[in-house]
């Protein structure tokens, strides 16, 4: 019997929502799986933006910035979007980032140079012009109970594909669904063949 945690783990891969996805919260979503084992799965949506909140406003709310230090915020950070990582614990922040910045005992290195850090320390470093070269901040996460994700994949709710670090951390988010599908040779237009028929 093989160990499911290593043999069948989708950790470090992408989930791409199929057009027939019943849960509207995941419509056309691309999710990077940060963990996947017999205990369940956890990931972050890469292509949904929290339009009502800027990173600068969030840093002020978290007391990392005040009005005076906000003026000195690096433009790279000022222009960064805040993503909706998923419907679970939406007040909690997660930073998916390149492996050139690691906080000992806080950063989880996942795969292919992609890491996850969920502490204020990384946001403070970014606000001061340090931190990782590439990063994506998400509020909340997507989670599955044991066996739930496997059932959703079997029911054709999700496609899985390898995660290209350039796609995962690319700040351009609005075409990630199409790009993820094309990375495995699927024309997104072909998936809509049976959509809309009663």
Q: Given this model, what pLDDT does residue 6 score?
A: 47
- Alpha-carbon Rg for the chain, nearest whole angstrom, is 17
For residue 42, report the phi and psi dihedrals to the nearest 5 degrees.
Answer: -145, 135
Bridge partners of residue 123, in order along the sequence: none
Mean pLDDT in residue range 128-132:
91
pLDDT tens readout for residues 56-83? 888 888 888 887 777 778 888 888 999 9
Confidence of residue 138 (pLDDT cuts 50, 70, 90): very high
For 95-118, b where at least 16 C-beta lie within 10 A, e where not — what string?
bbbbbebbeeeebeebbeebbbbb
Mean pLDDT in residue range 134-152:
95
Mean pLDDT in residue range 38-52:
95
Cα–Cα distance, 85 to 44 (Å, whole number): 4
Confidence of residue 198 (pLDDT cuts 50, 70, 90): very low
Which helix (H) or strand (E) covers residue 149, if one does? helix 148-154
Cα–Cα distance, 79 to 174 (Å, whole number): 16
Whole-structure pTM value: 0.89
Q: How many CB atoms lie within 10 A of CB 3?
A: 10
User: Contact, 34 vs 68, CB < 8 A?
Assistant: no
For residue 182, report the phi and psi dihedrals to the nearest 5 degrees.
Answer: -65, -25
Cα–Cα distance, 147 to 46 (Å, whole number): 23
- The lowest-confidence range among 1-10, 47-56, 68-77 is 1-10
Q: What are the distances in angstroms from CA 153 to CA 16, 38, 144, 149, 150?
A: 10, 15, 12, 6, 5
Q: What are the structure tokens assigned to 52, written together?
A: 């009502």
Mean pLDDT in residue range 103-118:
95
Q: Given this model, what pLDDT does residue 192 score?
A: 64
Average pLDDT value for the chain: 89
């Amino acid at each position: 019997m093989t160990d499911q945690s290593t043999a069948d783990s989708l950790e470090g891969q992408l989930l791409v929502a199929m057009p027939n996805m019943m849960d509207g919260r995941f419509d056309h979503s691309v999710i990077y799986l940060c963990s996947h084992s017999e205990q369940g799965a956890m990931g972050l949506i890469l292509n949904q933006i929290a339009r009502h909140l800027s990173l600068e406003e969030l840093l002020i709310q978290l007391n990392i910035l005040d009005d005076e230090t906000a003026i000195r915020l690096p433009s790279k950070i000022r222009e960064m979007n805040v993503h909706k990582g998923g419907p679970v614990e939406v007040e909690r922040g997660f930073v998916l980032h390149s492996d050139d910045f690691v906080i000992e005992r806080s950063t989880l290195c996942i795969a292919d140079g992609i890491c996850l850090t969920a502490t204020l320390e990384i946001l403070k470093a970014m606000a001061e012009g340090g931190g990782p070269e590439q990063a994506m901040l998400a509020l909340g996460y997507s989670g599955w109970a044991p066996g739930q994700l496997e059932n959703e994949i079997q029911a054709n709710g999700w496609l899985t594909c390898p995660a290209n670090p350039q796609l995962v951390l690319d700040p351009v988010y609005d075409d990630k669904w199409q790009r993820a599908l094309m990375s495995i040779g699927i024309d997104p237009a072909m998936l809509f063949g049976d959509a809309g028929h009663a």
